[in-house]
């Protein structure tokens, strides 16, 4: 991602997209200080001229202080609007996210010491009878991605919630084991953070599921607006892959409001149903092929 890709620095693009737009309350506060300070200043000058100069001085000093405070608030308000508007297009943020996910796919294979040829993957919706002559496509890790709920969030013009940080789980099934690579991507900076790798025998994988747990407050700004959406108590819908030791790799794939469960955040399409089906089918086939150990 270079300056030519977006017309300006990537960090500035992402910062402006996720920056909060100052609202009507901030604007009213600015004008309240400016107009109130001016009114006190004029009243103080008038009082001083009419003879009650000690009282007039008090009003002049108070009005001047309020006017200066209003001017400083105005500058902060103006700077905040310039930093947040105009919002970059949603497609630009999606392009940055897709670029980082492509890096994750390559990094997963490298960290797990695998090649694309080591992966045993077929599309979950491929029917060998209906499509016997399917063209071979490059094999890539299965990717499950979801937002980091504590990061900055914006509801785009298309109604989709976008976050500044995403957790990513790359699933790499081979003939002999299941490799997992997990990291966090930050759209603001190029880099993969909090990297983890895990490798399991297929017999050790005991569950692939989706579950719901309680989270904290999740708030998202609305693009080109000073409004926002807020879930005071969010329900986090997670994809989980659990092994026999009790360890679990979990990714948030949905967010809803505990008070109104039908009110859900629209997240970028992740194809989670397809991924869950593909992993379950792969585990079923691999476990069925494991040799049975007969009792002595």
Question: What are the residue ranges spanned by the domains of the chain?
Answer: 22-84, 90-289
More reliable by pLDDT, 137 or 210: 210
Contact call for residues 179 and 112 (beta carbons, < 8 A): yes
More reliable by pLDDT, 197 or 278: 197
| Tens-place pLDDT, residues 106-160 | 999 999 999 999 998 754 443 434 444 444 556 889 999 999 999 999 999 999 9
Is residue 224 scored above 70 in pLDDT?
A: no
pLDDT of residue 229: 80
Give the whole-number percent of the chain exceeding pLDDT 90: 41
| Tens-place pLDDT, residues 52-87 | 777 777 877 888 888 888 888 888 878 878 888 888
State the burial class of residue 186 (Cβ atoms within 10 Å of its Cβ: 0-12, 13-18, 19+).
middle
pTM tops 0.75, yes or no: yes
pLDDT band at 292 (very low <50, low <70, confident <90, very high): low
């Amino acid at each position: 991602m270079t300056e030519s890709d977006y017309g300006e620095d990537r960090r500035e693009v992402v910062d402006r997209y996720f920056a909060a737009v100052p609202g009507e309350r901030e604007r009213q506060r600015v004008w309240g200080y400016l107009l109130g300070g001016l009114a006190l200043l004029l009243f103080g000058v008038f009082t001083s001229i009419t003879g009650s100069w000690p009282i007039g001085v008090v009003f002049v000093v108070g009005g001047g202080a309020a006017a200066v405070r209003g001017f400083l608030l105005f500058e902060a308000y103006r700077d905040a609007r310039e930093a947040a508007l105009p919002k970059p297009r949603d497609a630009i943020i999606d392009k940055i996210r897709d670029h980082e996910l492509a890096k994750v796919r390559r990094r997963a294979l490298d960290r797990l010491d695998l090649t694309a040829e080591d992966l045993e993957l077929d599309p979950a919706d491929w029917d060998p009878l209906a499509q016997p002559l399917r063209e071979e496509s490059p094999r890539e890790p299965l990717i499950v991605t979801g937002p980091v709920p504590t990061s900055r969030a914006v509801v785009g013009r298309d109604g989709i919630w976008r976050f500044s940080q995403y957790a990513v789980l790359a699933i790499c099934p081979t003939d002999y084991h299941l490799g997992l690579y997990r990291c966090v991507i930050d759209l603001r900076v190029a880099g993969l953070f909090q990297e983890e790798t895990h490798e399991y025998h297929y017999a050790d994988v005991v569950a692939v599921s989706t579950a719901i747990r309680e989270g904290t407050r999740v708030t998202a700004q609305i693009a080109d607006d000073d409004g926002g959406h807020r879930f005071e108590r969010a329900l986090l819908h997670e994809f989980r892959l659990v092994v026999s030791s009790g360890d679990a790799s979990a990714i948030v794939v949905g967010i809803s409001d505990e008070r109104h469960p039908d009110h859900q955040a629209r997240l970028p399409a992740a194809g989670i149903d397809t991924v869950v089906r593909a992993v379950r089918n792969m585990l079923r086939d691999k476990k069925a092929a494991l040799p049975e150990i007969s009792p002595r």
